[in-house]
Amino acid sequence: MSATLDASSGNRQVTYVVVDRYVKNNSNIGERKGDSRGTTSSPYSRCTAQSSHSVDLAATRKHDVNFSLPLQDYDDDAEINSNHNSRKRTRIILSSVLSAGMLLLIIAFIFCMQRRNQLKEIVFRRTNGRLAQYKFREQELPLFDLATLANATNTFCTTNKLGEGGFGPVYKGTLEDGQQIAVKRLSKNSRQGLDEFMNEVMHIVKLQHRNLVKLLGCCIEAEEKMLVYEFMPNKSLDHYIFDETQSKLLDWPLRYSIINGIARGLLYLHQDSRLRIVHRDLKASNVLLDHEMNPKISDFGMARSFGEDLTVAKTNKVVGTYGYMSPEYAVHGRYSAKSDVFSFGVLVLETVSGKRNRGFSHPDHYFNLIGHAWRLFREDKALELVAEWMVEPCYFSEVIRAIHIGLLCVQEIPEDRPSMSTVVLMMGSEGTLPPPTQPGFFSERDLLEENSSSPQAKPYSTNQCSISLVDGR
């Protein structure tokens, strides 16, 4: 808003210009003729009167004009505003500095904690690595250096890769003396760690049996952990029995011989070895075949040993493969030698039929392979479980006996299952066998319902094979 206020008194004239409620003095007040005195108000003063009000300028004396307005000095107000802005800027700067400082402290703290954890992990690995080396030397287990195994596997080339499972990849290698080996290398992303690595070594290092894979040595260097086994040129059992083409390479006498060899290997683990060992992950992919097709049980990472007086143990961490796990182990975490017997029974039925237990389907019912075999056996149609090309009439009785033994091993109640020593006797004789009772997990629905109702049923591996082989090892 702007306005001009004019007031005249005699020869004197005072003019004020109001701009945005401020008044500017354009001439001297109290100037007399021939008198140089005068008073001048502040260049800008705040006007307290409303702009719509008139201003009365009247001379109060003859020679002087006293002009009085209720104005406040603008300089004071400007100084107040300046101080206020200065304090505001100061607060903003202080807040910014404090925020930045706190952020830097938090970042530094996080970095220090991560570095500390990394150092702890390095120390732990090195300490445990030295401890493992010491234990292996105590067991008189040969230790391979990393350079030797890298040279043997062509620097772990993918063309030498035999397969990969929960532990990590497996490579074929050839030592300088020409000996072929299988190198099992612990993956950095493996769900198994040093405990499983040590467990497998300590359980198998002293085991010597023709139906168990032989451990030749190991390597613990830097962050590498590797196991060195004898090479199995004919891959694993699942490569043959579940493949329509390869399956024809296994006639019935050879299949029966493989079943018998697996039984003898388990018997050694349960009864005749220095440690009574439960494998806990027996399946077709963990049975390797040598150049003469002799079966050899492998992969002892999940194995557990028992003392003389202990027959049953319990765990909160269920490991294994669905389709092979016994009901009491999958649901309640209880395992024993009878858990391996159940897995063996499944393996027998798979070897006889050439079908997987898990994923088996039939148009007439919802049973899995166990339930299907039990139904055929009760209806005296057990031979329908086997392909016609596989069995000659002279082997019919032996086939039916193998199916009968398999059903005895997969009975639901652990106490009803035979021990492996009894199984070996059954397979080597022609005596009368007891009738099998209802098997455990004879349908996929049973397995899923039992598993969903138990918080402990968290299997280590939900696939059929923990190592999917693509070449011999």
- Which residues are designated catalytic? 281
The CA distances from residue 284 to 121, 236, 348, 380, 382, in Å, are 36, 7, 10, 27, 22
DSSP 372-433: HHHHHHHTT-GGGGS-TTT--GGGHHHHHHHHHHHHHHTBSSGGGSPPHHHHHHHHT-----
Q: Both tokens of residue 200?
A: 């497998």
- CA–CA distance, 421 with 267 (Å, rounded to integer): 6
Strand 180-185 with 45-47, pairing: unpaired
- CA–CA distance, 471 with 241 (Å, rounded to integer): 16
CA-closest candidate to residue 344, choices 277, 260, 276: 260
423 and 269 in contact (C-beta within 8 Å)? no
Task: Give the H/E segment covering residue 220.
Answer: strand 215-221
280 and 166 in contact (C-beta within 8 Å)? no
Helices 252-267 and 420-427, interaxial angle, to 10°?
150
Q: Which residue has the tokens 């806990």?
A: 280
Q: Both tokens of residue 407?
A: 């059903």
Residues pairing with 182 in the sheet: 172, 229
Question: Sign of the C-alpha dihedral, residues 162, 254, 243, 302?
Answer: negative
The single-letter DSSP state of residue 30 is: S
> Which residues are CB-contacts of 101 (< 8 A; sequence separation ≥ 6)?
none
345 and 352 in contact (C-beta within 8 Å)? no
- CA–CA distance, 291 with 325 (Å, rounded to integer): 29
CA-closest candidate to residue 391, choices 274, 248, 267: 248
CA-closest candidate to residue 260, choices 410, 76, 429, 107: 429
